[in-house]
Amino acid sequence: MKLIPGKLMATFGFVSLMAGLPVAPPALRAQAPWTAVPPMMAVPTTPDAQRVALSNLRSRVNWLQNATRTAPNYASGGADMVRAQFQYLKASYGTFTLTLNARQQAEGANEIAELSAGLDILQEAFSNYQDDVAAGRSVGSALNDLCQVLGRAAGVWLQQLNKDAARLRVGR
Protein backbone atom coordinates (compact mmCIF):
# COMPACT_ATOMS: atom_id res chain seq x y z
CA MET A 1 0.00 0.00 0.00
CA LYS A 2 1.29 3.39 -1.01
CA LEU A 3 0.93 6.20 1.62
CA ILE A 4 0.20 9.74 0.61
CA PRO A 5 2.54 12.29 2.23
CA GLY A 6 -0.42 14.23 3.70
CA LYS A 7 -1.84 11.10 5.28
CA LEU A 8 1.59 10.27 6.69
CA MET A 9 1.87 13.71 8.27
CA ALA A 10 -1.62 13.45 9.75
CA THR A 11 -0.78 10.03 11.22
CA PHE A 12 2.52 11.36 12.60
CA GLY A 13 0.74 14.36 14.12
CA PHE A 14 -1.89 12.15 15.76
CA VAL A 15 0.73 9.77 17.16
CA SER A 16 2.81 12.72 18.39
CA LEU A 17 -0.13 14.21 20.22
CA MET A 18 -1.00 10.90 21.83
CA ALA A 19 2.60 10.36 22.92
CA GLY A 20 2.95 13.92 24.21
CA LEU A 21 5.62 14.86 21.73
CA PRO A 22 5.75 18.41 20.45
CA VAL A 23 4.33 18.85 16.98
CA ALA A 24 5.51 22.39 16.34
CA PRO A 25 9.04 23.65 16.76
CA PRO A 26 9.70 25.32 20.11
CA ALA A 27 8.78 28.98 20.34
CA LEU A 28 11.59 31.46 19.90
CA ARG A 29 12.55 33.37 23.00
CA ALA A 30 13.12 37.10 23.08
CA GLN A 31 16.26 36.59 25.11
CA ALA A 32 18.71 33.76 24.82
CA PRO A 33 18.29 31.38 27.77
CA TRP A 34 22.02 31.27 28.46
CA THR A 35 22.33 34.99 29.22
CA ALA A 36 22.46 35.76 32.91
CA VAL A 37 20.41 38.47 34.55
CA PRO A 38 22.75 41.13 35.92
CA PRO A 39 22.86 41.32 39.71
CA MET A 40 21.06 44.17 41.44
CA MET A 41 23.28 47.20 41.58
CA ALA A 42 23.67 48.87 44.92
CA VAL A 43 22.31 52.40 45.12
CA PRO A 44 25.13 54.81 45.98
CA THR A 45 24.91 56.51 49.36
CA THR A 46 27.34 59.29 48.54
CA PRO A 47 26.49 62.91 49.33
CA ASP A 48 26.19 63.60 45.59
CA ALA A 49 23.67 60.77 45.14
CA GLN A 50 21.71 62.04 48.13
CA ARG A 51 21.60 65.59 46.77
CA VAL A 52 20.39 64.37 43.39
CA ALA A 53 17.74 62.11 44.94
CA LEU A 54 16.55 64.90 47.25
CA SER A 55 16.41 67.35 44.37
CA ASN A 56 14.42 64.86 42.29
CA LEU A 57 12.05 64.31 45.20
CA ARG A 58 11.46 68.03 45.65
CA SER A 59 10.83 68.32 41.92
CA ARG A 60 8.27 65.52 42.12
CA VAL A 61 6.42 67.37 44.86
CA ASN A 62 6.38 70.47 42.65
CA TRP A 63 5.10 68.40 39.71
CA LEU A 64 2.33 67.01 41.91
CA GLN A 65 1.37 70.48 43.09
CA ASN A 66 1.36 71.70 39.50
CA ALA A 67 -0.88 68.78 38.53
CA THR A 68 -3.28 69.65 41.35
CA ARG A 69 -3.47 73.22 40.06
CA THR A 70 -4.11 72.28 36.43
CA ALA A 71 -6.15 69.05 36.69
CA PRO A 72 -9.51 70.77 37.34
CA ASN A 73 -9.13 72.55 33.98
CA TYR A 74 -9.19 69.28 32.02
CA ALA A 75 -12.47 67.93 30.71
CA SER A 76 -11.39 64.38 31.52
CA GLY A 77 -8.35 62.57 32.84
CA GLY A 78 -7.49 65.12 35.51
CA ALA A 79 -7.67 62.63 38.36
CA ASP A 80 -5.53 60.16 36.43
CA MET A 81 -2.90 62.82 35.85
CA VAL A 82 -2.80 63.69 39.55
CA ARG A 83 -2.65 60.00 40.49
CA ALA A 84 0.27 59.42 38.10
CA GLN A 85 2.22 62.34 39.58
CA PHE A 86 1.54 61.01 43.06
CA GLN A 87 2.85 57.57 42.10
CA TYR A 88 5.99 59.18 40.68
CA LEU A 89 6.40 61.02 43.99
CA LYS A 90 6.14 57.78 45.97
CA ALA A 91 8.70 56.10 43.72
CA SER A 92 11.08 59.05 44.09
CA TYR A 93 10.72 58.88 47.86
CA GLY A 94 11.60 55.19 47.77
CA THR A 95 14.71 55.97 45.73
CA PHE A 96 15.62 58.79 48.08
CA THR A 97 15.47 56.54 51.14
CA LEU A 98 17.80 54.06 49.43
CA THR A 99 20.50 56.75 49.15
CA LEU A 100 20.62 57.32 52.91
CA ASN A 101 23.64 55.81 54.62
CA ALA A 102 23.41 53.52 57.65
CA ARG A 103 23.89 56.35 60.16
CA GLN A 104 21.16 58.46 58.57
CA GLN A 105 18.79 55.50 58.44
CA ALA A 106 19.40 54.70 62.10
CA GLU A 107 19.12 58.28 63.34
CA GLY A 108 16.18 59.12 61.12
CA ALA A 109 14.18 55.90 61.31
CA ASN A 110 11.19 57.61 62.93
CA GLU A 111 11.25 60.53 60.50
CA ILE A 112 11.53 58.20 57.50
CA ALA A 113 8.58 56.16 58.79
CA GLU A 114 6.52 59.31 59.42
CA LEU A 115 7.17 60.64 55.92
CA SER A 116 6.21 57.29 54.45
CA ALA A 117 3.04 57.22 56.55
CA GLY A 118 2.31 60.75 55.38
CA LEU A 119 2.40 59.57 51.78
CA ASP A 120 0.04 56.74 52.68
CA ILE A 121 -2.36 59.25 54.21
CA LEU A 122 -2.14 61.42 51.09
CA GLN A 123 -2.97 58.38 49.00
CA GLU A 124 -6.25 57.98 50.90
CA ALA A 125 -7.44 61.17 49.20
CA PHE A 126 -7.86 59.14 46.01
CA SER A 127 -10.17 56.70 47.81
CA ASN A 128 -12.20 59.62 49.11
CA TYR A 129 -12.43 60.98 45.56
CA GLN A 130 -13.67 57.63 44.25
CA ASP A 131 -16.17 57.33 47.09
CA ASP A 132 -17.50 60.83 46.35
CA VAL A 133 -17.96 60.06 42.67
CA ALA A 134 -19.58 56.69 43.44
CA ALA A 135 -21.99 58.44 45.83
CA GLY A 136 -23.22 60.65 42.98
CA ARG A 137 -21.15 63.77 43.52
CA SER A 138 -20.11 65.47 40.32
CA VAL A 139 -16.66 64.54 39.05
CA GLY A 140 -15.69 68.21 38.79
CA SER A 141 -16.42 69.11 42.39
CA ALA A 142 -14.86 65.87 43.71
CA LEU A 143 -11.76 66.56 41.63
CA ASN A 144 -11.57 70.13 42.94
CA ASP A 145 -11.60 68.85 46.51
CA LEU A 146 -9.03 66.18 45.72
CA CYS A 147 -6.71 68.74 44.15
CA GLN A 148 -7.07 71.24 46.99
CA VAL A 149 -6.37 68.63 49.66
CA LEU A 150 -3.44 67.07 47.83
CA GLY A 151 -1.89 70.39 46.86
CA ARG A 152 -1.89 71.70 50.42
CA ALA A 153 -0.90 68.40 51.99
CA ALA A 154 2.00 67.96 49.55
CA GLY A 155 3.29 71.38 50.62
CA VAL A 156 3.17 70.39 54.30
CA TRP A 157 4.85 67.06 53.48
CA LEU A 158 7.62 68.91 51.61
CA GLN A 159 8.23 71.21 54.58
CA GLN A 160 8.64 68.20 56.85
CA LEU A 161 10.92 66.51 54.32
CA ASN A 162 13.15 69.59 54.20
CA LYS A 163 13.33 69.73 58.02
CA ASP A 164 14.18 66.05 58.30
CA ALA A 165 16.75 66.22 55.49
CA ALA A 166 18.49 69.14 57.17
CA ARG A 167 18.55 67.39 60.54
CA LEU A 168 19.95 64.20 59.00
CA ARG A 169 22.49 66.21 57.01
CA VAL A 170 21.40 64.67 53.72
CA GLY A 171 23.86 65.44 50.94
CA ARG A 172 26.66 66.56 53.27
This prediction has a pTM of 0.72
Q: Where are the domains of the chain?
A: 47-167
Q: Is the pLDDT of residue 14 over 50?
A: no
What share of the chain in percent tops pLDDT 70? 77
Is the distance from CB of 167 to CB of 110 less than 8 angstroms? no
What is the DSSP track for the chain? Answer: -PPPHHHHHHHHHHHHHHHT--SSPPPPPSS-TTSPPPPPPPPP-SHHHHHHHHHHHHHHHHHHHHHHHHGGGSSS-HHHHHHHHHHHHHHHHHHHHHTS-HHHHHHTHHHHHHHHHHHHHHHHHHHHHHHHHHTT--HHHHHHHHHHHHHHHHHHHHHHHHHHHHHTTTT-
pLDDT in tens, 34-67: 444 455 677 777 889 899 999 999 999 999 999 9
At residue 162, what are phi and psi to the nearest 5 degrees?
-60, -40
Going by CATH, does the domain composed of 47-167 fall within 3.30.990.10? no
Q: Is the pLDDT of residue 103 over 60?
A: yes
How far is Cα 57 from Cα 93, in angstroms, rounded to an integer? 6
